[in-house]
Homo-oligomer: A and B are copies of this chain.
Amino acid sequence: MTEKKAKWIWKYGEYEIYHHKLLMCRRQEMGCDYPGVIWRIAPNEVSVRFAAKMHALTDTTLRIVTHSKGMAYFGDRKYPVNEDLFFPAGDYEVFVMLYDLEGFPSCFIDSEYLKTDESWVDMSFDLPDAPVACEPAFYSPDDNPAVFPFSYEEVTPVSVTETDGGLLYDFGKELFGPVTITEYPENEGVRLTYGESKEEALDYPEALIWENLRPGFDPVRPGRAFRYIHTQSDSGCPVKLCASYEYLPVEDIASFHCEDETINKIWDVCSYTFHLNSREVYLDGIKRDRWCWSGDAYQSFWANYYLYFDPQIVKRTILGLLGKPPYYTHINTINDYSAYLVAAVWDYYYATGDAVFVKRIWDNLKSLYAFMTSRTNEKGYVVKRDGDWIFIDWSEMDKEGILCAEQILLWNAHQVMGRLAELMGEDSSVYGASAAQLKENIMEDFWEEERGLFYDDKADGSRQITRHPNIFAIMYDFVPEEKVKRIAESVIYSDRYVQITTPYFKLYELIAMCKLGDFEKVQDYIRFYWGGMLEQGATTVWERYDPEATKEEALAMYGMKYGTSLCHAWGSGPIYLLGRYCCGVAATDVGYRTFEVRPDFGRFQEIRATVPVKDGVVKVHLENGRLEVMATVPGGTLVYGGKRYKLSANERVMVEAS
């Protein structure tokens, strides 16, 4: 008993729902709170009932520590929370009944014979009994699970300059964190203008984030994105501040080093960008939108598995995005984003083998899937219904017709649901049948045999050809090898169709190229696109980059002079591409029970890389015409130069580079 460690407990999912909710309301722009209101933010449950048994061998005292309100039954007597309670030796059935109107109900007991931990049972709402949830960060009576456990590091400005009637702080690189105003004239208004760029910090009120503080303000300002901060007071007296870097303490497992210093720099900048966007859940960007988007998160999950392999943030993000039924709209209102979320659950399970998580969200996921399929047309196609946002990509295309790319995403969702249903011990045949029927329809209606490509229907019934469904057909293994080759030739490597310009969809295209075995092209593109940003002084990856754009054009977006996010998670694609396709590490069974290392080094001659797998890493070392591969866990196979080599745990395999 004594070696058990007490932890704060709560209803499963409520911690994640709560912190997602706060995050979705924390965006601020132009001095205004800018809550996420375009889709429903799932609220927390109000009340809970947790149960346990206490076998007190001696008289005992304990205290139910909570930030919520409520009481407990020990046997049939009621006891208050947050008071020292005495119990004579004996056996007790314990029920803790809590409500919370602001946070979410949670409590903590650490006594000789009763400790809160995962063994407690959530009996709220007469739902089937379920284990309560805990997080390792909350294990002391002084903790509060409503406060997210970020880490903090003080940061020092590289320069402080008097300009524009105030002081301009430059912290040398993009940051996120709270700022404390340390010196300011009393009884005066103070203004802080935050800038990802210097231009932005000096351009009140056009900058996206600023605040006009009135006398009596709290000198500790909430966490915000910035590299520059301009401070000024009404009278011109100097306003000084210090800043912290606020971050999620997850350590990189992966590393990548090659002979090309630009690529090495890109890796570092991608990693830093990705860490900045790794928070309670995955953000799209730390300045804008500061929201959690399923499509963005889908790519972040991949970067996760290939950078630091942290299942916790994936689960938090999925729980936040999935929210709670009923589903009135798609995830983020976007049809494709619902499909990505379903796909992400499979990816998570495949990477981690964590079937418990799938079980926890299974009912909600089925509700989402039921919502998705309830809105398809008579052929089972995704069509635009009231409230739907058919996104796919920012590309200019007719989105009012039936887009083939949406159908391939749905086909994948059918398949994933079938696999998950099997995992849950449920009948999967309906999902399989839906997938098969949909595939048949898609091939019939959208595949053009003559040219060897997929097209879309436009609203007027005519056809358009876009890269998107053709990329998905390769990425999701929708078509056999022979058709993959035709698509590559007719679309992927053709200049006839409008190019992908967003780094978001570009990642999918680069994946398709990797699958085509053309890593060289991907390598060149990374150097050109990400390298181009670095040349322009980027310290984090931008939401969007156009080598031809002026600085002004680069910074503006959505009709706002500084609308572009200069620190966007989806810019971290190279981490995934380098680990997954260059080093070629990929699970071939659930939870990396088996995995392959199938490198495609392109033009690289020297590589020293570490790629995470579940509970271990794969080390890849290419140098002087020799390839060395070592995995710290069993189950691996090196596939290289047309041969297969078994990777035993911790044993190096060395082969000649081909």
Contacts and interface: CB of A to CB of B under 8 A. Distances in A.
B387 A126 contact: yes
A386 B129 CA distance: 11
A71 B33 CA distance: 6
Contacts of A147: none
A69 B126 contact: no
Nearest to A386: B128
Interface string A596-612: 00000000000000000
A255 to B, nearest CB: 40
Contacts of A40: 45-47, 124-125
A71 B32 contact: yes
A193 to B, nearest CB: 16
A39 B326 contact: no
A37 interface: yes
B38 A46 contact: no
A25 B76 CA distance: 20
Contacts of A126: 38-39, 328-329, 333, 387
A195 interface: no
Contacts of A325: 325-326
- Among A35, A70, A76: residue with most chain B CB under 10 A: A35
Interface in A32-77: 32-49, 69-71, 76
A25 B47 contact: yes
A481 to B, nearest CB: 41
Nearest to A97: B37
A619 interface: no
Interface stretch (A98-106, A537-545, A650-658): A98-106
A291 to B, nearest CB: 12
A351 to B, nearest CB: 30
A408 B48 CA distance: 33
Contacts of A79: 32
A98 B128 CA distance: 35
A78 interface: yes
Contacts of A329: 125-127
A82 to B, nearest CB: 10
* Number of copies of this protein chain within its complex: 2
Contact of A31 (B31, B37, B49, B80): B80
Contacts of A70: 32-35, 37
Contacts of A21: 46, 101
Contacts of A22: 101
A101 B386 CA distance: 29
Contacts of A24: 46-47
A46 B102 CA distance: 11
Contacts of A41: 45-47, 99
| A-B complex: 5 closest residue pairs judged by Cβ atoms | A32-B71, A35-B99, A126-B387, A43-B43, A40-B125
Given A34-B71, A38-B49, A126-B333, 18 more contacts: A21-B46, A24-B46, A24-B47, A33-B71, A35-B46, A35-B99, A37-B49, A37-B125, A40-B45, A40-B47, A40-B124, A42-B46, A43-B43, A76-B559, A126-B329, A127-B328, A127-B329, A326-B367
16 contacts: A21-B101, A25-B69, A30-B78, A32-B78, A32-B80, A33-B69, A34-B70, A35-B99, A37-B98, A38-B49, A39-B125, A41-B46, A41-B99, A43-B43, A43-B44, A102-B102
